Structure formats: C-alpha cells, structure tokens
Amino acid sequence: MGPLIPNGILTNEWNIIIAVLIGLAFGFILEASGFSSSRKLAGVFYGYDFAVLKVFFTAAVVSVIGLYYMDYLGWIDMGMLYVHPTYLWAAIIGGAIMGVGFVAGGFCPGTSLCAVAIGKLDAWVYVFGIMLGVFIFSEAYSVLEGLYNGSFLGNITLVDSFDIPANYIIFGVTIIALVAFFVSDIVRKRIKKVFY
Amino acid sequence: MDKSSENNRHVYWNPYFGGFLLGLLIIFTFYMTGRGLGASGAMKSSVVTLVDKVSHEHTINNAYYSKFVKDDESPMNTWLVFESLGVLAGAFISGSLSGRIGFRVQHSPKITSRRRLVFALFGGILFGLGAQIARGCTSGAALSGMAVLSTGGFITMLAIFGTAYLFAYFFRKNWI
C-alpha cells in the first residue's frame, strides 16, 4: 500500500500534479488560519495570540497519530517514509538562527509565501531576505561545511533515541500538547490584548 | 467592499480546526509521496537557478550549489517548487474569499513601515541561513519531522521556538 508513489502504485508523473494540489491546500489552510499576518504569528512569543502553537501542535499530533495508526492497519509502511536526518549541532544552531529570524521578521518561509500571495510587502522583503540568507550560506559553504555535515546521528526517530515504544512517545507528545493548549489559554487571559 | 467582508477581514479559522486539517494534509502528503511538506526548499531552488544563470561555472565549482545543478534539467524542476506555487495560489484564493488582498506593509502602529521592512529583511536573512544549516525550516524539518517522530525534527522545533522566546524581549517594540 502506501506511500503510493514510492511503491509505484501511482506513476511519477502524478508527483507534480499532486505537488501543486497539496500546495494549494497547504496555502489555503495557512492563510485561513491567519498565518499570512506577521502580527498574529508573533503573538505566540508575547502571549497575545497562540494560533501558531495551537495550529502547529494540533497538526503534529494529528499527523503522527494518523500515520502510526495507518501503519498499524497496514495502509502505509512507516519504514518507507522519509525521516528528516539528525545532524545534532546543525539542528540546534540552525534552529536557533531561525528562531531569531522568526521573532525579528515575524514569518517563517511557508507563512511568508502566504503573505506574499495576499500582497504583504513586508513578506516580499522577507522572502528576498531568505534568498539572501541561502546565498550567504552557499557562498560560505566551505566554512560551514563542518557544521552542516558534522555530528550525524542517522535518520533516527525518538523511538531510537529514547529506546521506548512509539505509542508511549506519541501519548507523551499528545499530553504535552494538551497541557500547552490549556496553559496558553490561561496566559492569554492575563496578557493585555493587542489589536492588529 | 461590502460591510460584512470588512468585518470578517480578521476572522480566521478556529486554530484547532486549521491544525486538524493541516495534520490530515501531512498524512495525505506522506501517504502519496513518502515525504512531508516544505517551503524553504523552493527558495533555495530559486537562488540556485539565479546564480546558475549568472555563472554556471560558479555553481558547478561550489560544493553546495553543485548538489542541486543537473545537466539535463533546470534546478526549478523539483517537487517543492511546484508545491510552493500551489501554496501561493491557495493562499491567494483564501485571501480573496475573505477580502484580505491588497498591497501594504503590516506593522505595529508604534513603529514605522521602514523599520518593519528593515527587520523583515534581517529576519529573512537569518531564517534563510538557519534553514540551510538545519536542512529545513518550520515546515520541512520541524513539522514534517515531528510527524514521523524524527529526533532532528523535534530538536529543530525546540531550537526555533526556544530561541525565539529567548530573543522575544529584544524585539518587543516591533510587536507589542
């Protein structure tokens, strides 16, 4: 069964059509959830709007439960799915740089594309900035190569890292998400409203 | 513009509803393609293409660009580029339905649009740089990584949000 294209059930030509359709849905969901507004996105860091936290963690929990359940039912082979590789220091340092970029610019790449589509000029500048950042990385690649390729731990999952079964990890992640949703509502009530 | 869409401009979906649909979309994406979503990949392809147009010699001699340059096809011919074109169209459709289309610079009334644009440029540069180091952004590394319990995905997610909270104090004037 799944994944359909790697298993040859759908031909590779479908890949491009599916890419556009998935992108359409992705852009629509992000924009309709308010992710084309940098002021709404930044709210998560100041406690006046937790849409980012709620959308992001709901999506993560739904997708991980769904994928593992489909694997259990034999509809999809988890072993064939692409697991984002773990380069320990690259993940930490790259993530930290992205974090500063997020709170300074108010977008991440996906959300900035949505804002570009509805005419936010700050997002146009932001996307230009991302491209400059990619250019700087590429030109400085000889310096950054050690970080980029170093501390490689493989395409590991939390199941490998903690050596506990996936169902316990998924249950734990779900509980963390529910607690975060609950706490975020309490915090938002205590913080001065920001209108945007 | 009629009054109802004027009032609805800032009414968005319930975040749990949006998150649920996004979760289903990630499942569908993995079910079809065996991989997750992404966003910064398309911008990388654009940079590679632009640099390749200016100097092909430079791209094949650079150890990073050369990974993405193929002799027989354009570096734009990747899954993520087509997906990102879909994102632009999908967001445009959603924005049109809610009356949110229009050229403007969105910023807090306490700062000038010039200041907003400077910080947007600076933030974009950092995000672009970080996304290359971590091999993906909030979509490709964090969200799609977490869907398959990737350790790197979780680390990147914690690093992004942890650092953003740490630095939020220094950028507060821009937002609150």
Query: Do residues B139 and B133 touch, judged by C-beta distance below 8 A?
Result: no
Query: Quick check: A6 contacting B, CB < 8 Å?
Result: yes
User: Closest approach of chain B CAs to the CA of A195, in angstroms?
Assistant: 9
Predicted pLDDT of residue B1: 43
User: Closest approach of chain A CAs to the CA of B52, in angstroms?
Assistant: 12
Considering only the beta carbons, identify the residue of A92, A101, A141 that sits closest to B123: A101
Residue B7 pLDDT class (50, 70, 90 cuts): low
Predicted pLDDT of residue A192: 81
The partner residues of B104 in beta bridges, in order of sequence, read A120
Q: Which of B93, B33, B81, B160 is nearest to A56 (CA)?
A: B160
Closest residue of chain B to A167, computed from CA coordinates: B149
Considering only the beta carbons, identify the residue of A48, A60, A128 that sits closest to B176: A48
Find chain B residues with C-beta within 8 A of A78's C-beta.
Answer: 148
Query: Quick check: A59 contacting B, CB < 8 Å?
Result: yes
Find chain A residues with C-beta within 8 A of B161's C-beta.
Answer: 99
Query: Quick check: A166 contacting B, CB < 8 Å?
Result: yes
Restricting to B residues 50-109, those with a Cβ less than 8 Å away from any Cβ of A are 50-51, 62-65, 79-80, 82-95, 98, 100-108
Query: Quick check: A75 contacting B, CB < 8 Å?
Result: yes
How far is A102 from B124, CA to CA, in rounded Å? 8
User: For helices A109-117 and B40-54, what crossing angle results, to 10°?
Assistant: 80
Find chain A residues with C-beta within 8 A of B79's C-beta.
Answer: 15-16, 19
User: Closest approach of chain A CAs to the CA of B151, in angstroms?
Assistant: 5
Q: Which long-range contacts (CB under 8 A, 24 or more apart) does A172-175 make?
A: A173/A60, A173/A61, A173/A64, A173/B146, A174/A61, A174/A65
Find chain A residues with C-beta within 8 A of B93's C-beta.
Answer: 24, 27-28
Residue B2 pLDDT class (50, 70, 90 cuts): very low
Q: Which of A31, A48, A75, A164 to mutate to test the interface with B (most CBs of B within 10 A)?
A: A31
Query: Quick check: A107 contacting B, CB < 8 Å?
Result: yes
8-state DSSP, A4: T
Closest residue of chain A to B141, computed from CA coordinates: A84
Predicted pLDDT of residue A120: 94
Q: Between chains, do B160 and A102 touch, taking CB under 8 Å as contact?
A: yes
Tens of pLDDT along B119-159? 999 999 999 999 999 999 999 999 999 999 999 999 999 99
Query: Quick check: A105 contacting B, CB < 8 Å?
Result: yes
Predicted pLDDT of residue B70: 83
Return mean pLDDT, chain B: 91
Find chain A residues with C-beta within 8 A of B8's C-beta.
Answer: none
Query: Do residues A107 and B137 touch, judged by C-beta distance below 8 A?
Result: no
Question: A178 or B70, which is more confident?
Answer: A178
Query: Do residues A122 and A38 touch, judged by C-beta distance below 8 A?
Result: yes
pLDDT in tens, chain A (196 residues): 778 988 888 888 889 999 999 999 999 999 999 999 999 999 999 999 999 999 999 999 999 999 999 999 999 999 999 999 999 999 999 999 999 999 999 999 999 999 999 999 999 999 999 999 999 999 999 999 999 999 999 999 999 999 999 999 999 999 999 999 999 999 998 888 877 7
Find chain B residues with C-beta within 8 A of A22's C-beta.
Answer: 25, 28-29, 32, 37, 83, 86
Tens of pLDDT along B8-48? 567 899 999 999 999 999 999 999 999 999 999 999 999 99
Radius of gyration of chain A from its Cα atoms, rounded to whole angstroms: 19
